[in-house]
Structures are given as structure tokens and as C-alpha cells.
Amino acid sequence: MAFKENTPQFQMVDVALIEPDPAHPRQHIDETSLRSLANSIQKKGLIHPLVVQPANAAGRHTLIVGERRWRAAVMAGEKTVPALIRSCEPAEVLEIQVSENLGLGLRTALEPRDMANAIQAIAERFGTREAAAEYFGGTPAWLKQATAAANLSPKITALLDSGKISSTGAAIQLEKLAQKNEAKADSLISQVEQLPEGEKLAKRTVEKVLSEEGGRRKKGAGSEGEAVPESLPAAPASAATARDNAAGVPWEEGEAVSGRSRINPGKVKMVATILGLADDDEEAVLARLIDEFLALKGEAGAR
């Protein structure tokens, strides 16, 4: 009988009666992410149940999916774990394991700002940032980065909401620029506000300006005054002219990422299809892949 047609049975199973599938495609589990998951399980328990084969003659269950969760639960000191007991033919096990780890549209990571707002809301319950970071199993520096998108200035938030900035990552970089050189950031923001319909500020533009700003600070570190900032590149009349400027194509037209791609377009299209994204938006595909990878290292994308 096919996996789809089998009715699962929910049960709390003794962790000692579960064993991994030696043929699982993932043969390496990151120890750091495992400890982070164990930390989460100690606090909230196992959120997603494992999926295991029915018990064999010795009363033991073989994992179909959920080995990371099982190992982390053992590390956390759990004695029993929630599991769905569901028979799966050997020929279909690998397909189930791959489908579960790919997601295939079943699970979508939170949009970066939504995630940042959620993490910040939880962090505010603690007396210090150190205590909040410890709760998440991270450092204060990690917490600051994780909540950066929740602390954008009103101007930058408005530009992001209006589509004038290509991504949340670009907005965060622009916020960093504002903290280093407010005048330069304001000048760039003014340019972005005047962009024609369909054009937007790319993350690499802000990163380039940030890099230049960092270089000038280093050069001026030994003198009494800072070096005079160079003028910002003027906003091009169109995305076409942007592709020809010396700044390395800072603007984007529509939702397409401008500039020469070093990624095989065919591969981008293939990944975009799997993720359900537009196949001409490399930045969106990359951002989603990063989210998927980070989720894979956490409980939601567990084995």
C-alpha cells in the first residue's frame, strides 16, 4: 500500500525504541544546529512529530523522517517523543525523505520582517538582550542581526513597502549606512524616492556605498577629521543606463535583478519552479534559498 493511502497512528514513543534509517540521504548532521534544536526542545518540547515505521518483531521503530529531531530530543533529555506511526514501502521511503526535506511548497519560511518582528516580540519579554539571546540559543550580536528588519526607520520602511527597495536585506544595509553616515544615507534615500516606476534600489548598491564609507573611515582614522565623503552616484534616467554605469548596475527595473549573472539561468529557473517563484528574479530565489537553508538547520526543516 502506498504511503499516501496509509492511515497514521499518533503515539508517544520511547526514544530508546527508535532507530535511524541507515540509508537516509543525509549522512551528516551539524552539531551546532543540533544543540540549538535541543535547546528549543528543552524549553517547548518537540513541536513536529517524527514519522516512523510500525514496530518490528523486537518492538523497535525505524525512522522515516525526523532523525535530527530525535537526536536533539535525546540530547535534551526527553524520554518519549510524539510520533506518527505510518507504514512505508522500502521503495518509497527515499522519495518521502527527499520530499519532506525539500518542502515542495508545504512549508514557507516567514518573510524576513515578519520573522524579525516575531523574534523581537519574544525578546522584549526578557529583562536584558543577553537573556533574550540565551533563550534563542544565540548571542546578543545574533539577536541584533535577527531583529534588524524590525527596527528600520520610517523612511526606509516606507520605501521597502512601496517597492522602491529590492529586498529586506537591502533595507537593512541602508539602515546600517544611515548609522555610519546619515547625510549620505539621506541623499541616497532622496534618489530612491525619485526613481521612475518599476525601478528599485539593489542591495549591492548599498553594500558598495557602505564599503566605500568603511574604507574612508579607515583612511581617516589617523587624522583629526574624516575624509570628505565622495558624492553619491546620480540616479540614472532608466535601468538601461544603470547597466552601463561604473557603479556596477546599482538600480533594478521591475522585479528582475539587473547585471550579469554568474549563475546558470537554467538552474535558477529550475529552483524557482520548485520554490514557486518567478524564474526571472534571482534575488528572490537566493533569498528564499537562504531562508530554506536556515530553516533546514532548525526544527522546521528537520530530517
CA distance from start to end of the chain: 23
Looking at residue 254, its pLDDT comes to 42
Per-residue DSSP letters for 65-118? E-HHHHHHHHHTT-SEEEEEE----HHHHHHHHHHHHH-TTS--PPPHHHHHHH
Taking residues 157-185, what's their average pLDDT?
A: 90
Instruction: Give 209-260 as a 3 state SS string.
Output: HHHHHHHHHHHHHHCCCCCCCCCCCCCCCCHHHHCCCCCCCCEEECCCCCCC
- Indicate if the pLDDT at residue 174 is higher than 70: yes
Digit-coded pLDDT (tens) for 225-238 = 433 333 333 333 33
Query: Are the C-beta atoms of 271 and 154 separated by less than 8 Å?
Result: no
Bridging pattern class, strands 80-85 and 50-52: parallel
Digit-coded pLDDT (tens) for 38-83 = 998 999 999 999 999 999 999 999 999 999 999 999 999 999 999 9
Looking at residue 229, its pLDDT comes to 35
Overall pTM surpassing 0.75 (yes/no): no
CA distances (Å), origin 69, targets 12, 18, 133, 230: 14, 12, 22, 52
Domains and CATH numbers, the chain: 3-102 (3.90.1530.10), 112-255 (no CATH)
